[in-house]
Amino acid sequence: MSITTKPSSEFFTNSYAIASAKPTTEIIDFRPLNPEDFQAFRAIRLEALSGPDAKYFGASYEKESAQPDASWIERCRQTTEKALFGAFLSDQVVGVMAATKSDKHERTVLWGSVYLRPQHRNRHVAERLYQMRQQWSEARGLFDRAIFFIREGNERSTAIHVKNGAKVIGREEMDFADCSRGTALWFEKKLTAHGIT
Ligand SMILES: CC(C)(COP(=O)(O)OP(=O)(O)OC[C@H]1O[C@@H](n2cnc3c(N)ncnc32)[C@H](O)[C@@H]1OP(=O)(O)O)[C@@H](O)C(=O)NCCC(=O)NCCS
């Protein structure tokens, strides 16, 4: 598998050609979501909350699936304090993750909503999204750190974030989207003002 970068004129918007075992090369585009993406976002988010990986999400499928269009549109709207980042194959969203200013902590951004469709995993597609989210968080100048939780036992997600320098700062019992109760480990990633550490 190889990834080549195409030149991009727009900050935070990139395309990568991913050569796979399939006969054609897939072009994956990476960019923040906008309100026009709300139906695609709703589809992938509800897939995440109802599929085999629901055990990793501290959210409720019932509550989110009942939200009106306006709520999904608002979630897709980028501001200086929040953004959703997407990986797109043609016009299909294949991966998402979120960054939102914390209401509880000073100069802190909350990272979450990480989901990549299974057929696109282990090909560094999520890596591009992680990098884009961190770059966005650092470019704000508003945040000294990111915090996020990972369910205990989610080895892939834990390994990625530990490799990126995140440290465990706490534990919390919580309900997950598959209706199980379990332990979430809270992590902190220190941010710098100048790019990815
Ligand atoms: C978690 C998930 C998005 C990871 O996707 P993935 O396809 O395994 O990840 P990728 O191959 O794109 O990228 C991971 C690699 O990029 C590296 N990477 C990620 N972020 C990076 C960063 N900011 N800088 C440098 N490298 C980074 C990782 O270390 C890893 O390297 P490795 O393959 O050598 O171990 C995917 O498994 C998933 O959707 N899981 C189900 C839902 C879930 O668990 N969500 C998280 C809840 S906390």
Model pLDDT, residue 184: 98
Could you tell me the distance, in angstroms and rounded to a whole number, from the CA of residue 70 to the centre of ligand 1? 31
Q: Which of 45, 85, 113, 130 to mutate to test the pocket of ligand 1 (most atoms within 8 A of CB)?
A: 130
In 3D space, the residue among 142, 137, 184, 182 whose CA is nearest the CA of residue 164 turns out to be: 137
Within-domain flag for 24: no
Could you tell me the distance, in angstroms and rounded to a whole number, from the CA of residue 83 to the centre of ligand 1? 19
Model pLDDT, residue 193: 74
For residue range 77-87, list pLDDT tens digits in order: 999 999 999 99
Within-domain flag for 1: no
Cite the DSSP H helix spans in the chain. Answer: 38-50, 61-65, 69-75, 125-139, 155-163
In this prediction, residues 99-110 reach a mean pLDDT of: 98
Q: Which residues contact 173 (CB under 8 A, 6 or more apart)?
A: 181, 182, 183, 184
The pLDDT of residue 11 is above 60: no
Within-domain flag for 22: no
Could you tell me the distance, in angstroms and rounded to a whole number, from the CA of residue 128 to the centre of ligand 1? 9
Q: If you take atom 31 of ligand 1, which residue's CA is the nearest one?
A: 160
Model pLDDT, residue 20: 56
pLDDT > 90: what percent of the chain? 83
Which CATH number does the domain housing residue 164 bear? 3.40.630.30
Q: Which of 163, 183, 187, 190 to mutate to test the pocket of ligand 1 (most atoms within 8 A of CB)?
A: 163
Within-domain flag for 55: yes
Within-domain flag for 10: no
For residue range 153-170, list pLDDT tens digits in order: 999 999 999 999 999 999
Within-domain flag for 63: yes
- What is the residue range of 118's domain? 30-190
Model pLDDT, residue 149: 98
Measured CA distances, 167 to 2, 101, 152, 161, 187 (Å)? 31, 19, 14, 8, 5
The pLDDT of residue 10 is above 70: no
Within-domain flag for 120: yes
Tell me whether strands 26-32 and 82-89 are parallel, antiparallel or unpaired: antiparallel
CA 160 to chain CA mean position, Å: 13
In 3D space, the residue among 21, 115, 121, 113 whose CA is nearest the CA of residue 64 turns out to be: 113
Reading the block at residue 105, the tokens are 């902590």
The pLDDT of residue 17 is above 90: no
Within-domain flag for 71: yes
| Residue 7 confidence class, pLDDT cut points 50, 70, 90 | very low
Model pLDDT, residue 12: 54
- On the 0-12 / 13-18 / 19+ scale of CB atoms within 10 A, 57 is buried
Model pLDDT, residue 75: 97
For residue range 34-81, list pLDDT tens digits in order: 999 999 999 999 999 999 999 999 999 999 999 999 999 999 999 999
Reading the block at residue 156, the tokens are 């892939």
Could you tell me the distance, in angstroms and rounded to a whole number, from the CA of residue 26 to the centre of ligand 1? 19
125 lines ligand 1 (CB under 6 A): yes
| Residue 194 confidence class, pLDDT cut points 50, 70, 90 | low
164 lines ligand 1 (CB under 6 A): yes
Amino acid at 17: A
Total domains, the chain: 1
61 lines ligand 1 (CB under 6 A): no
